Structure 1
Protein backbone atom coordinates (compact mmCIF):
# COMPACT_ATOMS: atom_id res chain seq x y z
CA UNK A 1 0.00 0.00 0.00
CA UNK A 2 2.86 2.37 0.79
CA UNK A 3 4.43 1.80 -2.62
CA UNK A 4 1.12 2.79 -4.29
CA UNK A 5 1.16 6.04 -2.33
CA UNK A 6 4.79 6.73 -3.20
CA UNK A 7 4.18 6.11 -6.90
CA UNK A 8 1.20 8.48 -6.99
CA UNK A 9 2.55 11.11 -4.63
CA UNK A 10 3.72 13.57 -7.31
CA UNK A 11 0.33 13.60 -9.04
CA UNK A 12 -1.44 13.80 -5.67
CA UNK A 13 0.54 16.89 -4.68
CA UNK A 14 0.01 18.54 -8.08
CA UNK A 15 -3.76 18.09 -7.65
CA UNK A 16 -3.92 20.76 -4.96
CA UNK A 17 -1.75 23.38 -6.68
CA UNK A 18 -4.36 25.37 -8.65
CA UNK A 19 -6.88 24.06 -11.14
CA UNK A 20 -4.10 23.78 -13.74
CA UNK A 21 -2.22 21.54 -11.30
CA UNK A 22 -5.30 19.34 -11.03
CA UNK A 23 -5.42 19.01 -14.80
CA UNK A 24 -1.69 18.19 -14.90
CA UNK A 25 -2.19 15.58 -12.15
CA UNK A 26 -5.06 14.03 -14.10
CA UNK A 27 -2.88 13.57 -17.18
CA UNK A 28 0.08 12.37 -15.10
CA UNK A 29 -2.18 9.69 -13.65
CA UNK A 30 -3.95 8.88 -16.90
CA UNK A 31 -1.69 5.95 -17.84
CA UNK A 32 -0.95 4.39 -14.45
CA UNK A 33 -4.40 4.91 -12.86
CA UNK A 34 -2.81 5.03 -9.39
CA UNK A 35 -5.65 4.85 -6.79
CA UNK A 36 -3.80 7.13 -4.35
CA UNK A 37 -3.34 9.82 -6.99
CA UNK A 38 -6.94 9.41 -8.19
CA UNK A 39 -8.23 9.92 -4.65
CA UNK A 40 -6.34 13.21 -4.30
CA UNK A 41 -7.23 14.36 -7.81
CA UNK A 42 -10.92 13.98 -6.92
CA UNK A 43 -10.37 15.89 -3.67
CA UNK A 44 -8.37 18.65 -5.40
CA UNK A 45 -10.88 19.01 -8.22
CA UNK A 46 -13.71 19.30 -5.71
CA UNK A 47 -11.90 21.97 -3.74
CA UNK A 48 -11.18 24.01 -6.86
CA UNK A 49 -14.74 23.76 -8.15
CA UNK A 50 -16.03 24.72 -4.69
CA UNK A 51 -13.67 27.71 -4.71
CA UNK A 52 -15.04 28.98 -8.02
CA UNK A 53 -18.71 28.35 -7.24
CA UNK A 54 -18.63 29.81 -3.73
CA UNK A 55 -16.34 32.57 -4.97
CA UNK A 56 -19.04 33.75 -7.36
CA UNK A 57 -21.51 33.99 -4.49
CA UNK A 58 -19.03 35.65 -2.13
CA UNK A 59 -18.11 38.20 -4.81
CA UNK A 60 -21.66 39.59 -4.71
CA UNK A 61 -20.93 40.90 -1.24
CA UNK A 62 -18.39 43.66 -1.04
CA UNK A 63 -17.28 42.85 2.48
CA UNK A 64 -14.06 41.48 3.90
CA UNK A 65 -16.16 40.01 6.75
CA UNK A 66 -17.56 37.56 4.21
CA UNK A 67 -14.49 37.21 1.97
CA UNK A 68 -11.97 36.49 4.74
CA UNK A 69 -13.75 33.41 6.17
CA UNK A 70 -14.27 32.11 2.62
CA UNK A 71 -10.56 32.30 1.83
CA UNK A 72 -9.63 30.81 5.20
CA UNK A 73 -12.03 27.91 4.52
CA UNK A 74 -10.45 27.22 1.12
CA UNK A 75 -6.89 27.52 2.46
CA UNK A 76 -7.72 25.04 5.25
CA UNK A 77 -9.18 22.55 2.77
CA UNK A 78 -6.20 22.83 0.42
CA UNK A 79 -3.73 22.63 3.30
CA UNK A 80 -5.43 19.58 4.79
CA UNK A 81 -5.48 17.77 1.45
CA UNK A 82 -1.93 18.77 0.54
CA UNK A 83 -0.51 17.63 3.88
CA UNK A 84 -2.32 14.31 3.48
CA UNK A 85 -0.87 13.87 -0.01
CA UNK A 86 2.64 14.67 1.18
CA UNK A 87 2.32 12.21 4.09
CA UNK A 88 0.92 9.47 1.85
CA UNK A 89 -2.50 9.40 3.54
CA UNK A 90 -6.00 9.25 2.10
CA UNK A 91 -7.87 11.64 4.36
CA UNK A 92 -11.00 13.19 2.92
CA UNK A 93 -11.14 16.94 3.34
CA UNK A 94 -13.56 18.15 6.02
CA UNK A 95 -17.23 18.74 5.20
CA UNK A 96 -17.23 17.93 1.46
CA UNK A 97 -14.62 15.18 1.02
CA UNK A 98 -17.07 12.26 0.85
CA UNK A 99 -19.19 14.14 -1.69
CA UNK A 100 -16.15 14.83 -3.86
CA UNK A 101 -15.37 11.11 -3.93
CA UNK A 102 -18.94 10.32 -5.03
CA UNK A 103 -19.33 13.17 -7.52
CA UNK A 104 -16.03 12.54 -9.28
CA UNK A 105 -16.02 8.75 -9.01
CA UNK A 106 -15.38 8.45 -12.76
CA UNK A 107 -11.85 9.80 -12.22
CA UNK A 108 -9.64 6.76 -11.67
Structure 2
Protein backbone atom coordinates (compact mmCIF):
# COMPACT_ATOMS: atom_id res chain seq x y z
CA UNK A 1 0.00 0.00 0.00
CA UNK A 2 1.32 3.44 -0.99
CA UNK A 3 1.96 5.91 1.84
CA UNK A 4 0.10 9.22 1.94
CA UNK A 5 3.19 11.42 1.70
CA UNK A 6 1.51 14.83 1.43
CA UNK A 7 1.60 15.67 5.18
CA UNK A 8 5.26 14.61 5.32
CA UNK A 9 6.14 16.83 2.39
CA UNK A 10 4.30 19.97 3.48
CA UNK A 11 5.53 19.79 7.07
CA UNK A 12 8.87 21.26 5.89
CA UNK A 13 7.20 24.21 4.12
CA UNK A 14 6.89 26.97 6.76
CA UNK A 15 5.16 26.81 10.11
CA UNK A 16 1.79 26.90 8.36
CA UNK A 17 2.73 23.75 6.44
CA UNK A 18 3.67 22.15 9.74
CA UNK A 19 0.28 22.98 11.26
CA UNK A 20 -1.60 21.74 8.18
CA UNK A 21 0.44 18.50 8.21
CA UNK A 22 -0.33 18.07 11.90
CA UNK A 23 -4.05 18.40 11.25
CA UNK A 24 -3.90 16.06 8.23
CA UNK A 25 -2.02 13.44 10.24
CA UNK A 26 -4.49 13.56 13.12
CA UNK A 27 -6.93 11.05 11.60
CA UNK A 28 -4.33 8.73 10.04
CA UNK A 29 -3.57 5.23 11.31
CA UNK A 30 -0.85 2.64 11.01
CA UNK A 31 2.12 3.15 8.70
CA UNK A 32 0.84 6.45 7.31
CA UNK A 33 0.59 7.94 10.80
CA UNK A 34 4.05 6.67 11.83
CA UNK A 35 5.66 7.94 8.61
CA UNK A 36 4.08 11.37 8.84
CA UNK A 37 4.75 11.59 12.60
CA UNK A 38 8.44 10.88 11.94
CA UNK A 39 8.64 13.81 9.52
CA UNK A 40 6.61 16.05 11.83
CA UNK A 41 9.15 15.38 14.60
CA UNK A 42 12.10 16.03 12.29
CA UNK A 43 10.51 19.26 11.08
CA UNK A 44 9.68 20.44 14.59
CA UNK A 45 13.23 19.82 15.80
CA UNK A 46 14.63 21.64 12.81
CA UNK A 47 12.24 24.58 13.29
CA UNK A 48 13.14 24.90 16.96
CA UNK A 49 16.87 24.73 16.27
CA UNK A 50 16.79 27.24 13.42
CA UNK A 51 14.66 29.66 15.45
CA UNK A 52 16.97 29.55 18.46
CA UNK A 53 20.16 29.84 16.41
CA UNK A 54 18.79 32.58 14.17
CA UNK A 55 17.64 34.61 17.16
CA UNK A 56 21.01 34.23 18.83
CA UNK A 57 22.88 35.25 15.67
CA UNK A 58 20.66 38.30 15.24
CA UNK A 59 21.28 39.36 18.84
CA UNK A 60 25.01 39.04 18.20
CA UNK A 61 24.65 41.03 14.93
CA UNK A 62 26.14 38.19 12.91
CA UNK A 63 23.97 38.78 9.86
CA UNK A 64 26.27 37.04 7.38
CA UNK A 65 26.42 33.89 9.49
CA UNK A 66 22.65 34.07 9.92
CA UNK A 67 22.26 34.29 6.14
CA UNK A 68 24.42 31.20 5.69
CA UNK A 69 22.39 29.40 8.37
CA UNK A 70 19.15 30.26 6.58
CA UNK A 71 20.55 28.96 3.29
CA UNK A 72 21.60 25.74 5.02
CA UNK A 73 18.10 25.45 6.52
CA UNK A 74 16.57 25.84 3.04
CA UNK A 75 18.84 23.14 1.60
CA UNK A 76 18.05 20.73 4.45
CA UNK A 77 14.32 21.32 3.96
CA UNK A 78 14.65 20.51 0.24
CA UNK A 79 16.55 17.31 1.07
CA UNK A 80 13.90 16.32 3.63
CA UNK A 81 11.08 17.04 1.16
CA UNK A 82 12.76 14.83 -1.44
CA UNK A 83 13.20 12.07 1.15
CA UNK A 84 9.56 12.32 2.23
CA UNK A 85 8.39 12.28 -1.40
CA UNK A 86 10.42 9.10 -1.93
CA UNK A 87 8.83 7.49 1.14
CA UNK A 88 12.07 7.47 3.16
CA UNK A 89 12.50 7.79 6.90
CA UNK A 90 15.31 10.29 6.39
CA UNK A 91 16.91 11.93 9.42
CA UNK A 92 17.90 15.59 9.35
CA UNK A 93 21.70 15.54 8.84
CA UNK A 94 23.75 15.41 12.07
CA UNK A 95 20.87 16.16 14.45
CA UNK A 96 18.03 13.95 13.23
CA UNK A 97 18.67 11.00 15.53
CA UNK A 98 18.89 13.31 18.54
CA UNK A 99 15.59 14.93 17.47
CA UNK A 100 14.01 11.49 17.25
CA UNK A 101 15.30 10.54 20.72
CA UNK A 102 14.13 13.85 22.19
CA UNK A 103 10.58 13.76 20.83
CA UNK A 104 10.12 9.99 21.06
CA UNK A 105 6.68 9.01 19.75
CA UNK A 106 5.27 12.52 19.60
CA UNK A 107 2.47 12.93 17.00
CA UNK A 108 1.79 9.18 16.79
Query: Structure 2 length as normaliser, TM-score?
Result: 0.85
- Aligned-pair distance for 1:89? 1.0
2:67 aligned partner: 68
Q: In the TM superposition, what whole-angstrom CA distance separates every residue of 1:24-81 from its partner, at most 9, and x where no partner exists?
A: 1111101114111111111111111111111111112334431232112211221111
2:93 aligned partner: 94
Of the candidates 26, 31, 37, which is equivalent to residue 30 of structure 1?
Answer: 26
1:20 aligned partner: 16
Aligned partners of 1:46, 1:63: CA distance in 2, in Å?
23
Please provide the CA RMSD for this pair: 1.5
- Aligned-pair distance for 1:104? 1.9
> Which stretches of structure 1, 4 residues or longer, exceed 6 Å deviation after superposition?
none
1:107 aligned partner: 107
* Structure 1 unmatched ranges of 5 or more: none
Do the aligned partners of 2:57 and 2:63 also contact (CA within 8 Å) in 1?
no
